[in-house]
Amino acid sequence: MQTLVIKIGTSSLTQPETGQLALSTIATLAEILTQLQRQGYRVILVSSGAVGVGCARLGLTERPKNIALKQAVAAVGQGRLMRIYDDLFTTLQQPIAQVLLTRSDLVQRSRYLNVYNTFNELLQLGVIPIVNENDTVAVEELKFGDNDTLSALVASLVEADWLFLLTDVDRLYSADPRSVPDAKPISLVSNIKDLEVETGMQGTQWGTGGMKTKISAARIATSAGVRTVITEGKQPRNITKIIQGEDIGTQFQAQPEPTSARKRWIAYGLVPAGKLYLDAGAVSAIAQSGKSLLAAGIILVEGEFDIQEAVQLCDRTGNEIARGLVNYGSEELRKIQGQKSQAIAQILGYKGVETVIHRDNLVLM
């Protein structure tokens, strides 16, 4: 029983000229997802559009930039959007559920597991969850930022088989085909590390995404073992065709050995509270040998954080190589950075643990 996560963007849900809902696209999407559900697939829909629909409902001609106004508009649009989904799916006799998430739901491990359990129960009941970020209450520093990232995190959380990113282009290109006529289409990405494209494509006036966020989402999902597809949102029937093997859109192969659920939570669920800059020896020990981080390898501590918070590990130039949970707060780390493990007890006045980040709590990025 395969699990599918389908993300549809605002550009596919709305008419670009007016921001009004593209009802024919939504109706076709509902029909396709219901068919897949009845064929035995477990289906989750991540839907953008609340702010865009709210703008249309209130007669606004552009997406608001003020956070308070955007949250108010999202509150107006979310109810309207779910009403339309409910009407369409009810006609097809397919039960749905609304799931609104904030980043903090994934930051706390207990809430992360609770979200996982909720999705599992809904899917076992034959319900299609319709997911969106809870824009009305989300604070800026704890926002997913875009629903591409949200959909990848959901796909990782439920250990999905497929993630479909439905957008306003038919596939990924080497550059923006709207401004570079000879941009080359890309059908398959075997290793996302080798991907070379110009990611200057921004979202539409009604949406927040763009091709850069989709590639980032693909990186998150494929690391969790989820095959990811970018394809045209105005053609929802492509989902079925792609599952059946047709060469449509751009497919990103999943990593053959996905990271564990806990390490995916550390890497993508948590919001890093600081950075540790490492010398070349520490970078090599972590990236090449899979060892723990010791205080001796730290050359700079950036930010304020407590024990067991997530931090980014960077080389001297600032390139992130890993993330992990620290065994010391930032204040203590500044005292012991660059020091041998044997000196920690004398410096801090108590016998602390030898490792700053144990390898079990460390994830290569």
Over the stretch 150-169, which tens digit does the pLDDT of each residue have? 999 999 999 999 999 998 88
pLDDT at 91: 96
pLDDT number for residue 47 = 93
The pLDDT value recorded for residue 204 is 45
Domains in the chain with CATH codes: 3-263 (3.40.1160.10), 272-364 (2.30.130.10)
Phi, psi of 350 (to 5 degrees): -150, 160
Q: Please give the mean pLDDT across all residues of the chain.
A: 88
Q: Model confidence at 109, in pLDDT bands (50, 70, 90)?
A: confident
Q: How much is the pLDDT for 145?
A: 65
Residue 173's pLDDT band, with cuts at 50, 70 and 90, is confident
Task: Count CB atoms within 10 A of the CB of residue 336.
Answer: 23
In Å, how far are 31, 32, 164, 278 from 89, measured between CA atoms? 8, 11, 20, 53
C-alpha distances out from residue 67 to 70, 141, 269, 281, Å: 5, 12, 23, 44
Q: Identify the weakest region by mean pLDDT among 43-52, 114-123, 201-210.
A: 201-210
Given this model, what pLDDT does residue 211 score? Answer: 81
pLDDT of 199 above 80: no
Half-sphere exposure at residue 308, Cβ-oriented, CA atoms within 13 angstroms: 3
Best CA proximity match to 27, nearest among 12, 11, 44: 12
* pLDDT attached to residue 183: 81
Q: Which residues pair with 61 in a beta bridge?
A: none
- Each residue's pLDDT tens digit, 215-255: 989 989 998 899 999 999 999 999 999 999 999 999 999 98
Q: Is the predicted pLDDT of residue 59 greater than 90, yes or no?
A: no
Q: How far apart are CA 337 and CA 200, in angstroms?
A: 38
| Cβ partners under 8 Å of residue 47, min gap 6 | 7, 8, 13, 81, 85, 130, 131, 132, 147
When mean pLDDT is compared across 256-265, 268-277, 312-321, 330-339, the lowest value belongs to: 256-265
Distance CA 97, CA 85 (A): 10
How many percent of the chain have pLDDT more than 90?
A: 57
Angle between helices 50-58 and 67-91 (to 10 degrees): 100
Phi-psi category of 318—alpha, beta or left, where left has phi over 0 and alpha has psi -120 to 50?
left
Give yes or no for residue 200 having a pLDDT over 50: yes
pLDDT for residue 136: 65
**Where is pLDDT greater, at 141 or 109?**
109
